[in-house]
Amino acid sequence: MHACTPPACQSPVPRHLPFSQGGAQWSRGAATGTRSTETNAEVGHRASVNAPTQALDCFSTPGLFTLGFARYTLLAQVPVSQFSAALCNLDTLSIYLRLSFSGVFFFASEPFTRYQLTSSITIATTLKMEWFGRAKINFTHAPSPRPVRQKDGTETDLLKICESTTPPCHLNPLLFNGHLQTMWTATKPHGPQVYYRRKVFEADHKTYKGTFAVDFAVEPFEETDETLPRRTVYFTDEQFKSMPSDDSKPMLVILHGLSGGSHEVYLRHVIAPLIGEGGWEVCVVNSRGCARSKISSGVLYNARATWDVRQTINWLHEKFPNRPLFGMGFSLGANMLTNYCGEEGANCLLKAAVVVSNPFNLEISSKMLQNNFVGREIYLRVMGTAMKQLISGHKTEIETFTDLDLAAVEKVTYLHEFDREVQCPTWGYPTEYAYYRDASSTDAVLGIRIPFIALNATDDPIAVNEALPYEEFRQNPSTILITTSLGGHLCWFENGGSRWHPRPIGNFLNHMAFNVDLDSVKPLQDARTTDKASRGADYDPMRRKLAIVQD
């Protein structure tokens, strides 16, 4: 593993747009350890707070006590009775966030953080803290990364490009572990405004028929459509017919996370600097039923459902023949995009791809979450609830086209229970773990033949470090795994509320699109660093157990 220590390997590179440190901002309060003014109607049952008096800086958020002080000695207690009562009053994720903060003891002078919910729930965990928010950055790569030729004729390689386009990772020191980073997302729902026009495509897959929605980033408009997410409207027939173009703008195809969509703030932070003056065109492929899209069959999606993104990329390649296509995926969408790149291999139409917070090994990630209180009662519960709501929104179609037991689905609590009741019968898997093993993208890394970058935080509580395929990345010269020691899941919050991840992503994509001779990065035919076995034995990384029968 190559460790990057700034500033030695962060040489400046030409950038085609300024990456703003703006976006969602923290609101600054008085430099005291006081709590924001709130009412019971706003936050439910609130625990009392003994706040410290020595404050360095206070970041005030309505409904939360402030978190800036010299020794992080915030003390709060939440009785279990209040914990249960509050769940009935507030949005699930916001409640979990508030209770997690209000039940935490922060001790900056000791190498651990102790979580305590009074009355009978006590949780203790040891966490490594990176002081002052200075995260370490590591690059995992093959011994000889794939060579790349730049437009000026100079030769470089994929690793050097990643090193030069990845800035130092300086995050908010108050959010000093993956749980705090991840949960803080609930307090920062706002971000850059991105406007979309939607096109609903009829799926061309012979087995998984139906429809799916693709949202294209466009110039701001005044129209509204209450049936769609904010700042999203449908294309008119005339607008859509005029879309095909011979221009050579780079185009980015994005896949969102579990039950998300084009409206998600983590992807809007990436999109906003790229579009407009940035020179990029962007579209988001919404998974079936997500982002208020309708389904016309009983088929939703799973972690290896690559057919809709494949159809979208093929369509873009046909309608915009001169545009270089790039891919990006977040969380579950990152797993799907990794699978797509592995399935396509040397035939992949993308010039490069970036995945962010990919869980890779779904079985390991699920079991790690199940085996601790926070993972089970916060993350798996919230994700399970989100997927149940997705099913509820398409209840009529589900009842019409499937044999799913909706009564059993309604009783599930956690994500793995949802997968047992929905994904297993839908796709024919005997257990949720058989589904996780088959849909994981770990082996797909070995089949990728285009420049491929993965960005993960090793303190990510959802896409856990134990699930990252370090050895697989070392086997493929076309792939680089960039890990930071801080950042959580899809977060990387910096001081001021901005996020770090759009800058390395944007820098890399801009360098590939505008500085690299893309003819030099055509898909490799065989990218493995190890020799094939003798006596005719061979390994196919994309051999899967789910056999898709073509009707």
Alpha helices in 394-466 (DSSP H): 395-401, 406-411, 415-418, 424-427, 432-439
- In the set 331, 440, 485, 498, the catalytic residue is 331
Structure token pair of residue 381: 């519960």
Is residue 489 part of the annotated active site? The answer reads yes
Phi/psi zone of residue 23: left (φ > 0), alpha (ψ -120 to 50 degrees), beta? left
Q: How far is CA 474 from CA 142, 394, 434, 468, 477, in A?
A: 4, 43, 26, 12, 7
The two most distant CA atoms of the chain are separated, in Å, by: 73
Distance (Å, whole) CA 478 – CA 446: 9
- Give the angle 33-37-41 at the CA atoms, nearest 5°: 135
- In the set 269, 394, 416, 489, the catalytic residue is 489
Distance (Å, whole) CA 309 – CA 336: 9
Instruction: List, in sequence order, every residue forming a beta bridge with 529; answer none if it has no partner.
Output: none
Is residue 331 part of the annotated active site? The answer reads yes
- Reply yes or no: is the peptide bond before residue 7 cis, omega within 30 of 0: yes
Distance (Å, whole) CA 239 – CA 349: 26
Q: How far is CA 305 from CA 88, 334, 343, 409, in A?
A: 35, 12, 11, 21
Structure token pair of residue 267: 């992807």
- In the set 460, 478, 498, 511, the catalytic residue is 460
Q: How far is CA 401 from CA 181, 296, 413, in A?
A: 40, 9, 24
Q: How far is CA 411 from CA 101, 383, 396, 406, 433, in A?
A: 28, 14, 18, 9, 20
**Which amino acid appears at position 322 of this protein?**
N
C-beta separation of 274 from 280 below 8 A: yes
Distance (Å, whole) CA 250 – CA 280: 5
Handedness of CA 515, 520, 526, 527 (dihedral sign): negative
Give the SS3 label for residue 47. coil
Q: What are phi and psi of 257, to 5 degrees?
A: -85, -175
Residues recognised as catalytic: 331, 460, 489
